[in-house]
Amino acid sequence: MRRWPLILLALILVGFGAPRAEAFKGTVTIALSGEPLTMDPHRETDFIGTMVWPWVTDRLVTTQLGTGKIVPWLAEKFERLDAKRTKMTLRKDAKFFDGSPVTSEAVQYSIGRILDPQMKSRQRSLWNTFDRVEILDERTFILHNKVPDNGLLNRFLNWGQILSPKSRTLDPAAISRNPLGSGPYMVKELVKGQRTVFEANPNWWGNSLYPNRPKTVILRRIQEATTRIKALETGEVDVITGVPHHFIPEIKKHAGLEVAAVPAVRILFIGFFTRFGGPFGDVKVRQAVNHAIDAEKIRTTLLGGYADIFHQLLHPWNYAGYNPDKRWYGYDPAKAKQLMKEAGYEKGFRAEFITTNGRYPADRETCEAVAGMLRDIQVQTTCSALAFPLFRKTFTAYQNEQKKGAAMYYMGWGNGSGEAGLVLRGSTSCKGSFSGSCFPDLDGAIEKAATTADPKEQQAAFERVTDLMKEKASHKVMFKIHDIFGFNKRLNFQPRHDEQLQPWEISLK
């Protein structure tokens, strides 16, 4: 079983009569701040995974570069039958790495795998409105929802990548390293914590669309931004993400390097652990924290202007819910102090403040700056910047009330899929994977909005959710960030808006 990935790769490289591998050329090395927790596309919910999994396992749909419009991918066409049903047809020439065709059964198997309780998938809660896959023929199927769900197509932008049903016979450890997909690349080598090497799939259905893509793609995990930049400058890597703004002039000094910044989809915010009461269980305290933070100062200094002040957790490219006229709490230190007095916390209190370290732009530095601002309202806190696995472990401990006491967190939520219901369920609801609070009436409003069929009524319902979130001061909404990339000028490379980095869109000049 362990030899299967190497044997499979050898078989594929001899080809099945598809376009010749000579059409692909060169090697491109990409450095990210992290790596997927697993290459199994159905177990975890980390955003680096959602970026890398499609390199190997195709999605049914994708987004058009620059517009965010949902367009066909592994499914050559789709049709919304009604608010509960969507019909799809798979590409005729799509094959898995072993040469077997991609079929409706594979779609049914892949989604069923996420929903299987024995899998213990962290994605399972994202599909709680999904019912079943009805197979019409080998390439055609209907997706059924239990309730109206206008966000189903958006969900497939991040989740539900297609695996071969033959994966049933594979060791889970083998799938976690080298899944049997149909994507543009195959895993050739995986050294956890260091690098993953991908080889172009000569039998991919999309080869005619991307004939000049790199033959080999090397993904390197380099957590520290300064180390990534040094690797770019020395030629060790060709593309890096997460460039701190103050390094842009240094990179541009190199004639062979370029920097590109694009307004992105991730919203950064502060949340509160409120499930066991305490100071943050008081709405006036949460409002006070909102008013005590000078987000504009952080934006112009720590983020160098490469972010936009934002007022809601939904992005303009969400399928519903965004309203540019919404306004969150602004900076008002006098109001903050007055609210603390009204809440009975004029003398303040101590709180834990956790964030990630290097996962988002200036996350540690922002956390430290906010901690300093909160001292003005006598909230004494020290920022704990943690590696993401430890951040998630600490977060879960507060959710499960294994840890108690006043605590808050700084993190980001990507809107790459554009699914408003997913964003709000995950970040705000009682059962949200990264929600520190529980407001039952807010849960009800989220579910009503997510399952409303009429688009106009749904827009109004999602706007009401944002209004409720502000009334409760459930978060301090901070920024919509810009993604900053550094890359070698030998590449034709256009950064995307949606936290996707798709190597088949890259070519060598």
DSSP H or E run through 72: strand 70-72
3-state secondary structure of 306: coil
State which amino acid sits at residue 402: Q
Q: Is residue 475 a contact partner of residue 456, using CB atoms and an 8 Å limit? A: no
DSSP H or E run through 459: helix 455-472
| Residue 358 Rama label (left phi>0; alpha psi -120 to 50; beta) | left
The three-point CA angle 407-413-415 to 5° equals: 160
Instruction: Name the packing angle between helices 455-472 and 420-428 (round to 10°).
Output: 20
The three-point CA angle 158-159-161 to 5° equals: 110
Q: What's the pLDDT band for 67 if we cut at 50, 70, 90?
A: confident
Give the pTM. 0.86
> Per-residue pLDDT for 59 more than 70?
yes
> From CA 39, how far away is CA 48, in angstroms rounded?
10
> Per-residue pLDDT for 317 more than 90?
no
Average pLDDT in the 267-295 region? 97
> From CA 162, how far away is CA 226, in angstroms rounded?
36
Most confident of the ranges 44-53, 295-304, 312-321? 295-304
Alpha helix segments (H runs only) across 274-356 = 283-292, 295-301, 333-342
Q: What's the pLDDT band for 414 if we cut at 50, 70, 90?
A: confident
> From CA 391, how far away is CA 164, in angstroms rounded?
34
Q: What's the pLDDT band for 359 if we cut at 50, 70, 90?
A: confident
Alpha carbon separation from 477 to 281, 374, 466 (Å, rounded): 18, 16, 11
Tell me the domain boundaries of the chain. 4-226+490-508, 264-482
Give residue-wise pLDDT tens across range 172-230.
999 999 999 999 999 999 999 999 999 999 999 999 999 999 999 999 999 899 999 99
Q: What percent of the chain has pLDDT over 70?
A: 96
Which residue bears the tokens 């409105």? 129
| Class for the domain spanning 264-482 | alpha beta
- Identify which of 429, 134, 476 has the alpha carbon closest to the alpha carbon of residue 312: 476
Of residues 126 and 254, the one with the higher pLDDT is 254
Q: What's the pLDDT band for 276 if we cut at 50, 70, 90?
A: confident
3-state secondary structure of 196: strand
Which residue bears the tokens 């159905």? 42
> Per-residue pLDDT for 379 more than 80?
yes
Give residue-wise pLDDT tens across range 87-102.
999 999 999 999 999 9
> Which tokens in the block code for residue 381?
């806190």
> From CA 61, how far away is CA 23, in angstroms rounded?
25
Write down the architecture of domain 4-226+490-508 according to CATH: 3-Layer(aba) Sandwich (3.40)
pLDDT at 19: 44
User: Pairing state of beta strands 507-508 and 185-191?
Assistant: unpaired
Q: Is residue 154 a contact partner of residue 127, using CB atoms and an 8 Å limit? A: no
pLDDT at 350: 97
> Which tokens in the block code for residue 506?
């890259």
Burial 220-245 (b: 16+ CB within 10 A, else e): bbbbebeebbebbbeeebbbbbbbbb
- Identify which of 108, 127, 109, 103 has the alpha carbon closest to the alpha carbon of residue 175: 109
Of residues 404 and 309, the one with the higher pLDDT is 309
> From CA 51, how far away is CA 54, in angstroms rounded?
7
